[in-house]
Structure 1
Amino acid sequence: MAKLQLNKSSLARESQSLRNYERFLPSLDLKRQQLMAERAKAVRALSQTRGQIGTLTRQVGRSLPMLSNQDVDLTGLVRISDVRLATENLVGTHLPRLEAVEVEVKSYALLAKPHWVDNVVAALREVLELRVRVQVDERRLVLLDGAVKTITQRVNLFDKVLIPNARANIKRIKVFLSDEEMAAVVRSKIAKRKHSAEGTV
């Protein structure tokens, strides 16, 4: 770190820096609050989606006990064929947003499968969509956690380091300049006295 120069130009630089820091801090703090609010929303959304998966799984278990029948082959019946994501910019943080999930159902002979397979297909389709949503929600949360951490570090840097340092430097320079000014006045008076004493001799 460069040694602090104790002069008026250094005082002007430190004062300008302090003004800049104090001007930027509120906008950084507002950005942090927005990110934290969005993070809280993302936590709720993830919890809600996981809850929907749990509810659906329990409903399927209750309404379709015949799923335990090993004679009916359900493998590969439903699969995800496409996932479309968009990117949204939240105060400089790029977050994924789920636009659509396309689920492909393998064709099966309606007469060869039991009637309840249609309900299984609908439930599987819904669970697959919800699982994709969970993955997107988890990714959003990871990105928001990182953004909140970064912006909090910046806010702390301004609030706890840069602003207090600038204030301390300004105080130190002012004290030094004040002492210098007083010393100059004293030297001037001493020189004046000396000069007037020499004139009278």
Structure 2
Amino acid sequence: MTIKFQYNRTSLHNLNKQLNIRLRALPTLKNKEAALRLEVKKAKDKSDDLDQQLKIKIHEQEISAGLWNEFLPELIGIENVSVSSRKIAGVSIPVMDEIIFKEKDFSLFSKPDWIPAGISFVKELARIVTEREFYTRKMALLDKSRKKTTQKVNLYEKVQIPGYEDAIRKIKRFLEDEENLSKSAQKIVKKRQQKQKATAG
């Protein structure tokens, strides 16, 4: 990225202003990046944990897999998943508040006695799967924001800040040289005038 500037005090003032904005923003961006990195890890760990819970639950039921042929899937269903959102390091993230199930009435006398436990098991599976989906989405959203923040940190740290500092150095050097030349020119003029006065007198 080339920083456009002119060799004058106005340009120097503007570049200093831009540099200070970036220098002030950099620690905040770095903190945001660290916070997002931590949250991504937490979300991934939680997603992995729920994945493990799901495997354990399914494994527990392998013994009684044959019984599930008698289970009627229409007895239970998800009616709604209530969702809110909260901000993590400035990023809006969906949060699962509650799963609302819809249960169909059935006769305990005409169905096997394990059906209520089966309904509870299906509810638990649905909770784990839905929660895991939320954590996977949360992880993806946070990671996307983390990558953007990392790019901005790198842009500021490796490109813009050194670019502004270099441009400021160049302008200062130019202005100093100009000032020195001006002083030298004034001295020459002064000496010439003194010489002329001396020869005239």
Taking structure 2 as the reference length, the TM-score comes to 0.90
Matching of residues 28-107 of structure 1 within 5 Å: 28-62=29-63, 64-67=64-67, 70=69, 72-107=70-105
Report the Cα offset of residue 128 of structure 1. Answer: 0.9
Aligned: 1:190 with 2:191: no
* Cα pair distance change 1:119/1:73, threshold 3 Å: closer
Aligned: 1:133 with 2:131: yes
The letter of the residue matching 1:91 is A
Q: Aligned residue pairs: how many?
A: 198
Greater shift, 129-138 or 51-60, is seen at 129-138
Report the Cα offset of residue 46 of structure 1. Answer: 0.8
Instruction: Name the structure 2 match of 1:5.
Output: 6
CA contact 1:60–1:123 (8 Å) conserved in 2: no
What fraction of aligned residue pairs are identical, expressed as a percent? 27
Report the Cα offset of residue 3 of structure 1. Answer: 4.1
Q: Tell me, which stretches of 5 or more residues in structure 1 are unaligned?
A: none
> Whole-Å Cα distance in 2 between the matches of residues 20 and 190 of structure 1?
43
> Whole-Å Cα distance in 2 between the matches of residues 73 and 186 of structure 1?
100
Report the Cα offset of residue 199 of structure 1. Answer: 2.5
The letter of the residue matching 2:29 is L
> Whole-Å Cα distance in 2 between the matches of residues 75 and 125 of structure 1?
12
Question: Secondary structure of 1:14's match?
Answer: helix
Taking structure 1 as the reference length, the TM-score comes to 0.90
* Cα pair distance change 1:3/1:52, threshold 3 Å: closer
CA RMSD of aligned residues (A): 1.8
Report the Cα offset of residue 105 of structure 1. Answer: 2.6
Divergent runs of 4+, >3 A: none
